[in-house]
Chain A
């Protein structure tokens, strides 16, 4: 007799903590594969433009593989790679669009602050140098509030674009443009949840970051005296630092991509009833 007392049923949406746990556990069980994929992605970064699209596509591939695990249809790396490679130009288009979006957000923030600066200048100037400390204090406080509001707005908007590359790597009939709409649609109403998940996940990456930090500090300490004696070590030093930062990035990247995939899975099951089907009926 086997009871399932107090355990969540398999078709229920995931709790906040379980999203993170699921991501980590899938990464753990494919540690080497995902790490090597991420490392490959980082090396591609050295090639301008095409390489960046490659980096982007390979990161999305990690999410694709994680998602395949989540829906119980594991996929081989080579088959996944074929899929994302066939969409490499769409990934590039997506990067360019996201760049534009990023610039738009930046310009928006600049405009808000410019208006604020202008208004306060007018206000202080208009008071004809009689502005006392109280006015400055008020303005400072107001600037602080506006700053916080701007930060929250930027955070909110960026979270709406959080999943952008995932549908492109997973769904049919999606291209570099429509994947943005997909991310916008899926994240609707779940922005704060995603931010909370990211925050807790970030705390969990701290131990890894600390280990990486310790290793790179040691390497630097070892090489600094050598560097002083012999300038020929400069290049070697640079290469080692680069390799180290790539390796540490490649440790953390799959972690985030896996969690992203679980968030995507969870949102789809919440909003689109993913996995709600009877037996394995295919109609």
Chain B
């Protein structure tokens, strides 16, 4: 859904919350990566969402959360004028539909070398799920990452 919304309605720009470690459980025990919370692990999120979609779990807390976030974003974008009412309605109708396809996870692989360091924001410890490092990029362009799916 993120991929589609970014492509169709946000001019190919994305706000991403990311990690340098795909699977923190595989990181050496003494490293900071080992301190990344399971709820912030890219592999953990990917696997859980994939499993929720495969089993069509109508109680999926991840999907419920994403649905609410996208609805808030659609309202915020409508209010700031970056989305028309027609586009707003398309986003809201899609996320409220019975589609499972839109929630299938994709992995953004972002080569760090191509991103100016000042654009990579270190998430403050108080806003992380645990002590392990987490990053954000607020204006990632579609040309700056590859998409992987299962």
A and B form one complex: no
**Interface residues, chain B, with chain A CB atoms under 8 Å away:** none
